[in-house]
Amino acid sequence: MQARRLRLGHEPLDGAMGSVLAADVRGPDGRAVLRKGTRLAEQHRAALSTMKGVSLHLIDLAADELEQDEVASRLVGAIAGPGTQPGTASQGQARLRATWRGLLRIDADALARINARPPLLVFTRPSGQIVVEDDEVAGAKSAALATSEAAVHDVEALGRSGPIVRVEAFARRRIAVVMTDRLQAAGRALMAQAIRRKIEWFGSELVSIAEIAHEPDAVERELRARTAEGVELMLFSGANPLDPLDAAFEAIAAVGGRTDRSGVPAHPGSMVWIGEVAGVPVLGIAACAGFGKNTALDLLLARVLAGDEPARAADELGHGGLLEGPSAAAWFPPYDRGGVSPARGASVAAPVGAK
């Protein structure tokens, strides 16, 4: 790269053609006529020929150097993994967007390796955030007007070794809800609506909502019935996670299941518990009212539907698990955006009734 000045009206304008502007060119009114980063070409000659006395700050690129837009375009292409789509570079940077709804995964080590090579800059949303179609998930640019192509080649090689930014799509699952806490009719309808809205937002199918007695035999019958019909995930409310003799845990043990953990490292909703019956994960909360709120259960559900093993998913909630204050909303599924997941289609509405 070579930097130089060219004073308009004093030196031939031909000497500027093909060079890159290092600073904005402003007219008499102070407004930018041409922006920095512009590669000067014939279409700019007319504007420049009227600006006598203006000093152009120019960059001449070497044969092995790239302009900002090309760097940005190639960088987002290099980091793009499944579930993402690179955008067109503009004004020196480019963005990466989600192509489907899911959990954002970032290879933080690879990202750090890229950003340890200035002037390359790649920036992303936090790993583990829930994103929807067309959300911006990453961006890239160069902090210089001339960048070594070799540095970009290295990032492209890194991207070929494994995805740096990807969106893990939510899998469609058949989900049953079991409630042992009693509700009035109006409350039952509202809770069923809230549960269905969340499950269908993830693209899964709500196959049943059962309101049963908080007794071991009743819970055992329900667990057996739901696993026999092939549900793939159960949500349970009404058990006391502090009581190992609770009817829910006794019933889980009676059918050969297990309780993996009580409590998850996130607040609100830290008393979520996790179990398994006949290979089917069970995610539990103390009261069904929690289904209508944004809690740790929403984050755990997202990770499980994205393919994480439930107990491992719970372990990872601690980083970013303080979910209070205005900024906490960014971590929860945006249930008010997008409706039923278009990638998965509308799920079948399930009847609500006592069993």
CATH number at residue 7: 3.90.105.10
Distance CA 282, CA 246 (A): 15
Reported pTM: 0.87
Q: Note whether 210 and 320 are same-domain residues.
A: yes
The domain containing residue 115 runs over which residues? 65-169
Is residue 160 located within the same domain as residue 287?
no
Q: How far apart are CA 331 and CA 126, in angstroms?
A: 9
**Pairing of the two strands 233-237 and 136-142:** unpaired
Residues 191 and 271 in one domain: yes
Please give the single-letter amino acid code of residue 130.
I
Query: Do residues 161 and 180 both lie within one domain?
Result: no
Q: Of 135, 200, 192, 155, which is closest to residue 341 (Cα–Cα)? A: 200
Number of independent structural domains in the chain: 3
Q: Are residues 73 and 185 in the same domain?
A: no
Write out the two tokens for 346.
């509308």
* pLDDT tens track, the chain, 355 positions: 899 999 998 999 999 999 999 999 998 888 999 999 999 999 999 999 888 889 999 999 999 999 999 999 999 999 999 999 999 999 899 999 999 999 999 999 999 999 999 999 999 999 999 999 999 999 999 999 999 999 999 999 999 999 999 999 999 999 999 999 877 777 778 888 899 999 999 999 999 999 999 999 999 999 999 999 999 999 999 999 999 999 999 999 999 999 999 999 999 999 999 999 999 999 999 887 778 889 999 999 999 999 999 999 999 999 999 999 888 999 999 998 866 665 443 333 333 333 3
Among the listed residues 163, 192, 168, the one whose alpha carbon sits nearest the alpha carbon of residue 78: 163
Sign of CA dihedral 204, 231, 253, 216: positive
In sequence order, which residues have a C-beta less than 8 Å from that of residue 36 and are 6 or more positions away? 21, 22, 23, 24, 145
Quote the CA–CA distance of 233 and 170 in Å, as a whole number. 13
Question: Cβ(264)–Cβ(314) under 8 Å?
Answer: yes
Final residue belonging to a domain, choices 43, 60, 77: 60
Query: For residue 62, is it left (φ>0), alpha (ψ between -120 and 50) or beta?
Result: beta
Q: Are residues 6 and 75 in the same domain?
A: no
197 and 346 share one domain: yes
Interior/surface letters 167-187, b for 16+ CB within 10 angstroms, e for the rest: bbbbbbbbbbbbbbeebeeee
Burial tier of 25 (Cβ tally within 10 Å: 0-12, 13-18, 19+):
buried
Tokens representing 20?
């890159």
CATH number of the domain to which 267 belongs: 3.40.980.10
